[in-house]
Amino acid sequence: DERGEQPCFFLTEELLGDNDEGANDKWFGADHHLAHMPVRQQEKADGHAVKAVYLYSAVAELVKEGQDEDGTLERAMLRVWKNMTEKRMYVTGAIGQQGYGERFTTDYDLPSDRGYLESCASIGICFWAKRLLALYQDPRYADVMERALYNSVLAGLLTAGDIFIRTHFIIKEVSRITGRIVSIWKMGGRGGLGAHAARLTSCALSLISRIML
């Protein structure tokens, strides 16, 4: 309920010079942290994609534990889920359209050649969907969980088991033979694996390992 209040903790921390770990708050506003308004009032999937799905996984836990007497957390959670899955999610179950800020953008902005689509965000979808499935026993949550798991999460781990892919995007290329548009699912960015692949590093390592356990 303190989200959206002023002064904003994240921005004040930056001004005081207490944040040396690169949260980049001078570039990213409170909405990046989903701190721009109380959770109970949020309507859409906004901000950093990984932070968002983890936040709402926690909200689902609060609802389950009866910590939402007036139902406003539950309604906000379901609003955001509906917006995310119907207007801000790729066919592969991936989220987080913009690389700058690793964040959601606007409804139906789903570029096939520029979507950031982080593995960690898809893992967070699975965690959130699992909690919603336990709450409501609605198979639609299982459908989303499976879509993200099989198309985005598992694609983040190479078969050798020692390289983890952080980002995924679908790009359209024109066939040199037929002249037709061909959809190709490439992993790891425009330069092949490159900087987006991590050999035993980055958040992808711990989270992919965690979901498989």
Across the range 161-181, mean pLDDT stands at 65
Half-sphere exposure of 118 (CA within 13 A, CB side): 23
Across the range 32-41, mean pLDDT stands at 91
Contact yes or no for 129/142 (Cβ under 8 A): yes
Count CB-CB contacts under 10 A for residue 202: 18
How far is it, in rounded angstroms, from Cα 189 to Cα 191?
A: 6
Across the range 132-146, mean pLDDT stands at 97
Residue 201 pLDDT > 50, yes or no? no
Q: Is the peptide bond before 111 cis (omega within 30 degrees of 0)?
A: no
Residues making up the chain, counted from first to last: 213
Among the residue ranges 102-106, 145-149, 176-180, the one predicted with the least confidence is 176-180
**pTM exceeding the 0.85 threshold for the entire prediction:** no
* Alpha-carbon dihedral sign for residues 209, 186, 105, 68: negative
